[in-house]
Copies of this chain bind each other. A is one copy, B any other.
């Protein structure tokens, strides 16, 4: 019964998670509009999937609707959240407060109460010691100490590519288990650390490729 996390991996893939996150985003919107219930075909339309896909995804996380009302917006929102979120919340650090780091901070700060941006790191003496969006910037030399003492488990890499691997090694040694990698380096990490790559150049090249061929969705 403790191995709920293992079961998750067994059943649910990366694409499933993407969709669940999107459903939650949509449900949050519906909730704010005061809509109480939603059918699979509506959720499918709003998220760009098929109704069968939506029903299957919700089945996979163990939520059940009813033929009469479909899915209760609030309940389903909570159900997806309890599936996705760590119950104790997750502490996150941003590495690098250049344009990209600031963009991420602006974008993610206080957007979700289970996610706390606990610290930012940079080497610029003008930034170190200051507080941005309620988030204090520390010197990169202090990674180990701050990451450990704040129980930071996820790091967002927004530093120059050339510095990435050695910073990652220090983060992982300090207990980080997930890395959102905005550099263009293929990172090497232990197999118990998850890396999500988000190379802007790759996204752009991909967009360009598919923009030249018509009527093709993902």
Interface contact B198-A214, CB-CB below 8 Å? no
List A residues 1-34 near B (Cβ within 8 Å).
5-6, 8-9, 14, 17-18, 21-22, 25-26
Give every chain B residue within 8 A of A204 (Cβ-Cβ).
92, 108, 115, 154, 156, 180
Among candidates B6, B186, B213, residue contacting A22 with C-beta atoms closer than 8 Å? B186
Q: B residues within 8 A CB of A158? A: 103
A84-B153 contact given A108-B201, A180-B204, CB 8 Å threshold: no
Residues of B within 8 A of A208 (CB): 84-86, 90, 92, 115, 153-154, 178
The reply on A215 being an interface residue by CB < 8 A is yes
A70 within 8 A of B: no
Residue of A22, A112, A194 contacting most chain B CB atoms (<10 Å) = A194
A70 to B11, CA, bound (A): 38
- Bound Cα distance A43, B180 (Å): 23
**A213 adjacent to B14 (CB under 8 Å):** no
Query: Can you list 19 pairs linking A and B with CB atoms under 8 Å apart?
Result: A5-B214, A17-B206, A17-B209, A17-B210, A18-B206, A21-B202, A22-B202, A99-B102, A107-B200, A108-B200, A108-B201, A115-B208, A153-B212, A154-B208, A178-B208, A180-B204, A191-B215, A192-B214, A192-B215
Known A-B contacts: A111-B201, A153-B212. Give 20 more (CB < 8 A): A14-B206, A14-B210, A18-B202, A22-B202, A25-B184, A84-B208, A90-B208, A92-B204, A98-B103, A103-B200, A115-B208, A153-B211, A156-B204, A178-B207, A178-B210, A179-B207, A193-B211, A194-B216, A196-B210, A198-B200
A residues contacting B by CB (< 8 A) are: 5-6, 8-9, 14, 17-18, 21-22, 25-26, 46-48, 84-86, 90, 92, 98-100, 102-104, 106-108, 111-112, 115, 153-154, 156, 158, 177-180, 184, 186, 191-194, 196, 198, 200-218
| A-B pairs, 4 with minimum CB distance | A178-B211, A100-B103, A99-B103, A194-B210
